[in-house]
Amino acid sequence: MKQMRKTPARFVLLIAAWLSSSMSGADPLHKVGNEGAWRHEDSGWMFPKQVGGFARVGAPYTIDGNNDVGVEYQQSSGEPRLEAVVDVYASDSAATEATLDGAKASAARKAGADARIRSETPFPIDALDGIRGVKFTYRADEALPGDQARLYFFATERWHVKVLASTKISGDDGDEALDAFVQALPWSTLGSDPGVLH
């Protein structure tokens, strides 16, 4: 009889252990409000439905099944010529593209085999003192239309934000719109530790 009483107690402990382990792997993304925004619970970063002239494509996703997250945006007016993927990584993430070197390698692949870095410039966020990043422009030929990539990379003590934008237009077309998009992202929602690249 004593043995039968221990069995239900063990069963309850097993259920409790299972529930606590399943809760620890909870989804890091949650819908917020009625405007279609999503929030990354770890960093606080918001993924609004619209950012400037860009519209979010689908819901945000986790990267490699961990707590790093990202989403794609496209120009919302006219034919989409500009698209940008916004990724938020923990600073200690094992993801390859969470580092500046990994992000640069990804941008080079996106721009194509013949592309190279055409410019590298500091990129401060106007609306928030202390967050500064760097912008890289990749392209194969300055004059001809073709695949181009622009990488914006920001690092704070706890978070890295990568914006990888691609275009199929010539010269610097799209630079102004992409810069404005990056400036308009919800930087104030990113934790509470504004930092500086390098």
Helix H, strand E, coil C: the string for the chain is CHHHHHHHHHHHHHHHHHHHHHHHCCCCEEEECCCCEEEECCCCCEECCEECCEEEEEEEEECCCCCCEEEEEEECCCCCCEEEEEEEEECCCCCHHHCHHHHHHHHHHHHCCCCEEEEEEEEECCCCCCCEEEEEEEECCCCCCCCEEEEEEEECCCEEEEEEEEECCCCCCCHHHHHHHHHHCCHHHCCCCCCECC
pLDDT for 14 equals 39
pLDDT for 80 equals 53
pLDDT for 191 equals 82
pLDDT for 66 equals 81
pLDDT at 22 over 60: no
pLDDT for 152 equals 97
> Tens digit of pLDDT for each residue in 31-89?
988 888 999 999 999 999 999 889 999 899 999 878 899 999 998 776 557 899 999 99
CA distance 50 to 184: 10
Give the chain's domains with CATH numbers: 27-189 (3.40.1000)
Amino acid type, 138:
Y
> Tens digit of pLDDT for each residue in 90-147?
999 999 999 999 999 999 888 877 778 889 999 999 888 778 899 999 877 655 555 6
Segment 3-14 shows an average pLDDT of 47
> Tens digit of pLDDT for each residue in 176-193?
889 999 999 999 999 844
Comparison of pLDDT for 188 and 167, the residue scoring more = 188
pLDDT at 173 over 60: yes
pLDDT for 195 equals 47
pLDDT at 15 over 60: no
pLDDT for 172 equals 59
Residue with tokens 């494509």: 57
Contact (CB, 8 A) for 37 and 47: yes
What does R_g of the chain's alpha carbons equal in angstroms?
A: 21
When pLDDT is cut at 50, 70 and 90, the band that residue 171 belongs to is: low
Distances (CA, A) of 30 to 41, 49, 179: 7, 13, 27
